[in-house]
Structure 1
């Protein structure tokens, strides 16, 4: 059985994944994999350079994160064009990894929900999410809200997921234990 963990920015999905990893569960991190593949895949490098231009990569071969981010944020069509390059590579990498668990912030937007059998949504109240984002990224409340609004609404994730972990300050271990026991039964 393949399981995905998703949740909006500031929900605490990475923290939940660390708790699962402490239990010996290996988790494929889609975001890290995408960054790694964008740095190391000659095919992705060629496609991104053709799409964005020669400034997509620095002279030393490193991905020009600022340039790529600026292109990505400029329009929805730019975002879709980058995703059309990166998402298939990440999906293939996950499939070849042999891992059963994945962490994916954009699970439904990427279509990666079709790669898994079950989804766990990590949720948190908006004020908690805002505080986490502002502290972690040292950004304003307005910037944090902008990031939240660029993602799927939390209630949509809750509706589509088979399981939910509410990360609002109460202990997470009992929720994780309950979900793992239910996943094992399936």
Structure 2
């Protein structure tokens, strides 16, 4: 079974592309959603986050206090790295267990953070113009400001860095048709699986 990474910056449309693959019957592992689940439900992860950032990291009802955590880690690279060192290995282990349950010719792992050495066979990059990405995010996330969105984009891989790790590129601009691109890639991936 091929393990295919699906990545792109915030607002690029990688979630839409992942849904299209899902509609074709391809199992899709959504890293961000699983990370959120693990942060709230995996006791080992919770305890490590509390040890790192304090009990304020969770509300009394056990829900993750993402506003507090964001205040602690953004602007503090060392704490952000330590938090990532808790969450990312847990997601990797969860992904490995998830893969063991699948029998498809290939699976998709959707994640914003991805590298060539992520243990994946191929990587798909969803590209989209920065202005369009910002517009999408502001429409989707009403609580974010233009400056916050720019800061998030600035802290992610550049288009050049994404392209360097990509085996395939899907264009998601206003003119691009996503469905034909996904259908083409599905055919290609099944042929090499």
- TM class, shorter-length: over 0.9
Q: Name 1:89's counterpart in structure 2.
A: 90
CA distance in 1, matches of 2:130, 2:71: 26
Q: What runs of 5+ residues in structure 2 fail to find an aligned partner?
A: none
Note if contact 2:18-2:108 (Cα within 8 Å) is conserved in structure 1: no
Q: Name 1:18's counterpart in structure 2.
A: 19
User: Structure 1 residue 141: deviation in Å?
Assistant: 2.5
Q: Name 2:114's counterpart in structure 1.
A: 107
Note if contact 2:126-2:170 (Cα within 8 Å) is conserved in structure 1: yes
Note if contact 2:126-2:169 (Cα within 8 Å) is conserved in structure 1: yes
CA root-mean-square deviation: 1.4
TM-score for both structures, normalised by structure 2: 0.90
CA distance in 2, matches of 1:26, 1:182: 16
Post-superposition CA distance 1:133-174 (Å, at most 9, x none) = 111112332222111101010221112110000000221111
Equivalent residues in 2 for 1:1-186 (5 A)? 1-98=2-99, 99=102, 100-108=107-115, 113-138=117-142, 139-169=144-174, 170-186=176-192
CA distance in 2, matches of 1:159, 1:114: 14
Question: 1:9 aligns to what SS in structure 2?
Answer: coil
CA distance in 2, matches of 1:78, 1:49: 12
TM-score for both structures, normalised by structure 1: 0.93
- Relative to structure 2, which stretch is displaced further, 140-149 or 118-127? 140-149
